[in-house]
């Protein structure tokens, strides 16, 4: 926009009472520019080194000349002046109205059809004199609830309090479109927020992996215990558990030849299906086989990622994963030695 600050080149501090002159390029009778620049207006910076150049200039592009004491600065580049009447500060109420913004806060980001949506909001604008953000108090506004097709399905009138905030609620329709809904501040500057409406189901159980307690090496059989528990606290028996194991190789922490390490794509090395027992447990077993195409002299490290899809007797499926890292040695020792 048409806001300018004049600062000290060395300290970065604002320069008060600097004279800023605007120059316009002279035109010939046929409308073309002739290369001459004529002074049009003078402005004086405030204590913050700030000026606002009025939009009564007959041209969009200007040059600036700045004088502060014995110092002079002549710009060699053009400065663009916005001619948009929205930002014309000659009318304070119009200016602050056009700068108004509404910020929304909902109690969640996803709802089921028929639920109640609770929201809060804050209305702000830009102060005409200081150009700083300020709260808008005692301001009335209509809040629209729009569905996934951007159709108005409800509305409510609000008035901001002494802190510029407001609150309200909407009852979401039981039937209709699901998807991205909106809250919109009607005729109140910029202001909207999105949320989703879906017929989702809360999970009733979760998968918990147990970390292998014993140190393992390559070619060992790895046993990864897991158990399924309902959020109500009970164990989940007779659940179908499908798993797959993916292997990925990487260079050793200590291998100075890591730049030449033969990186390989991730591949599946095992899969299967299990049934959880009476206490909701089952064990995933697989052999920690190395990649035969990677020379053991690199001392590679292998990450084995186990992904599980567990389905309870009611047909609900949950997915989770864990990772086991194995190398040719079961431990690495790292010493950080400071030079004396």
Nearest Cα to Cα of residue 201 among 46, 312, 336: 312
Write out the two tokens for 201.
Answer: 């189901």
Q: Are residues 190 and 212 in the same domain?
A: no
For 233, how many CA atoms within 13 A lie in the half-sphere containing its CB?
Answer: 0
Taking a C-beta distance cutoff of 8 angstroms, is the pair 122, 191 a contact? no
Q: Are residues 133 and 188 in the same domain?
A: yes
Q: Are residues 107 and 38 in the same domain?
A: no
Write out the two tokens for 55.
Answer: 């939009």
- Other CB atoms within 10 Å distance of the CB of residue 232: 7
263 phi/psi in degrees, rounded to 5: -65, 135
Q: Whose structure tokens read 């000659």?
A: 90
Pairing of strands 19-27, 61-68: antiparallel
DSSP symbols for 15-42: -TT-EEEEEEEEE-TTS-EEEEEEEEEE
pLDDT of residue 39: 86
Q: How many domains are there within the chain?
A: 3
Q: Are residues 164 and 225 in the same domain?
A: no
Q: Rounded to an integer, what distance in angstroms lies between the CA atom of residue 206 and that of residue 253? A: 34
pTM for the full model?
0.48
DSSP code at position 48? T
DSSP symbols for 136-204: --S-EEEEEEE-TTS-EEEEEEEE--TTSEEEEEEE--SSS--EEEEEEEETSSB-EEEEEE-------
Residue 236 lies in a domain: yes
Tell me what percent of the chain is helix, strand and coil, each rounded to the nearest 5: 5, 50, 45
Q: Are residues 114 and 84 in the same domain?
A: no
Q: Are residues 181 and 260 in the same domain?
A: no
Q: How far is CA 47 from CA 7, 13, 15, 130, in A?
A: 11, 10, 7, 11
Number of H helices, E strands in the chain: 1, 23
pLDDT of residue 86: 47
Q: Which domain holds residue 262?
A: 205-327
Taking a C-beta distance cutoff of 8 angstroms, is the pair 189, 101 a contact? yes
Taking a C-beta distance cutoff of 8 angstroms, is the pair 205, 236 a contact? yes
pLDDT of residue 92: 78
pLDDT mean values, one per 10 residues, the chain (340 residues): 86 93 79 77 92 69 89 83 53 82 94 94 89 90 93 94 95 90 85 91 90 81 93 92 93 61 85 94 93 82 93 92 86 64
Residue 337 lies in a domain: no
pLDDT of residue 87: 47
pLDDT of residue 229: 93
Residue 286 lies in a domain: yes
Q: Are residues 307 and 220 in the same domain?
A: yes
């Amino acid at each position: 926009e048409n806001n300018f600050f004049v600062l000290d080149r060395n300290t970065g501090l604002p320069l008060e009472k600097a004279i800023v002159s605007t120059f316009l390029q002279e035109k010939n009778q046929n409308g073309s520019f002739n290369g001459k620049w004529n002074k049009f207006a003078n402005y004086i910076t405030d204590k913050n080194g700030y000026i606002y150049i009025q939009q009564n200039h007959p041209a969009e592009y200007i040059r600036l000349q700045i004088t502060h004491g014995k110092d002079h600065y002549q710009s060699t580049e053009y400065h663009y002046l916005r001619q948009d009447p929205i930002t014309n500060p000659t009318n304070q109420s119009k200016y602050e109205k056009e700068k108004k913004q509404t910020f929304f806060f909902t109690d969640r980001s996803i709802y089921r059809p028929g639920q109640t949506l609770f929201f809060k909001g804050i209305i702000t604008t830009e102060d005409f004199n200081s150009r700083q953000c300020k709260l808008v108090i005692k301001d009335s506004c209509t809040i629209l609830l729009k569905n996934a097709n951007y159709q108005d399905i409800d509305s409510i009138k609000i008035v901001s309090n002494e802190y510029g905030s407001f609150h309200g609620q909407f009852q979401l329709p039981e039937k209709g479109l699901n998807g991205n809904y909106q809250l919109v501040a009607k005729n109140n500057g910029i202001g909207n927020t999105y949320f989703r409406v879906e017929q989702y189901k809360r999970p009733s159980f979760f998968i918990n992996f147990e970390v292998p307690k014993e140190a393992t090496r390559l070619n060992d059989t790895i046993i990864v215990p897991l158990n399924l528990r309902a959020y109500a606290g009970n164990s989940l028996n007779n659940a179908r558990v499908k798993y797959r194991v993916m292997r990925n190789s990487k260079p050793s922490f200590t291998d100075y030849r890591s730049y030449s390490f033969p990186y390989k794509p991730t591949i599946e090395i095992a899969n299967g299906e299990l049934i959880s027992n009476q206490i909701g447990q089952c064990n995933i077993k697989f052999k920690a086989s190395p990649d035969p195409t990677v020379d053991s002299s690199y001392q590679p490290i292998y990450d084995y990622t186990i992904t599980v899809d567990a389905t309870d007797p009611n047909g609900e499926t949950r997915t989770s994963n864990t990772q086991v890292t194995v190398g040719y040695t079961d431990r690495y020792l790292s010493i950080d030695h400071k030079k004396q």
